[in-house]
Amino acid sequence: MLLTIDVGNTNITMGIYHQDELVASFRMTTKTPRTSDELGFLLCNMMITKGINPDDIEAVIISSVVPKIMYSLTSSIRKYLHREPMIIGPGIKTGIRIQSDNPKEVGADRIVNVAAAYHTYQKACLVIDFGTATTYDYVSDEGVFEYTVISPGIEIAAQALVSQTAKLPDIEIKKPASILAKNTIQGMQAGLVYGYIGQVEYTIKKIQEELKQKMMVIATGGLGRMIAPETKLIDLYDPDLAYRGMKIIFEKNREVFNHEH
């Protein structure tokens, strides 16, 4: 079995593959500081509750945008799973070419998403990842990762609205039945969700206009589940895109990695 770990700014999400099937997934928060023993204990117990024996994990691959957690995380994998994790970074083969002003600045999470989208559909794609930030990443028909747009995530927008005003309350992020709100909470929900849908649609249209082409538009990330059904400009929502991207990258590097370790 292959354990894929996606370390984001808000959550650590994990998916387990048995051959080509994703058999389990789970998540924990990133922001709680944990020792390697705490992480190892949580990892093993989450697997056991899903009916998976930790001893059956044959390999581990990590995509991370949070450097400060990596020492504890990699130590926990070595101590509790007895595996050397493959870490996505410079020198790893991905199956795509990064053509940007500074390729080293491109986060592993975005490389994983774009690799999965291009490998799966073999054509130009725009991947929108609704995470802590919302990223729009374009990969061409030739598999070149060329352009990106980054905006505050919807949760960041909600937190800013509450923290920078004196009287606006914390709210649940959900779409109200109508944009014509009659109270403060629904008004905030309408502004956040309908406003965000508008931002997403305009950004997609502007990218397509400047590139003079249509492309497949794929949404992923937790809040993509809420936004994707609200616009016809998003072709599909794929919550498992990052796991699949890590599996693809693992397969491309397995032979060399096994030889070195």
Active site residues per annotation: 109
DSSP the chain: -EEEEEE-SSEEEEEEEETTEEEEEEEEESSS---HHHHHHHHHHHHHHTT--GGG--EEEEEES-GGGHHHHHHHIIIII--PPEE-STT---SSEE-SS-GGGS-HHHHHHHHHHHHHH-S-EEEEEESSEEEEEEE-TTSEEEEEEEEE-HHHHHHHHHHTSSSPPP------S-SS-SSHHHHHHHHHHHHHHHHHHHHHHHHHHHHTS--EEEEESTTHHHHGGG-TT--EE-TTHHHHHHHHHHHHHHHHHHHH-
Half-sphere exposure of 32 (CA within 13 A, CB side): 11
CA distance 249 to 111: 10
DSSP conformational letter for 18: E
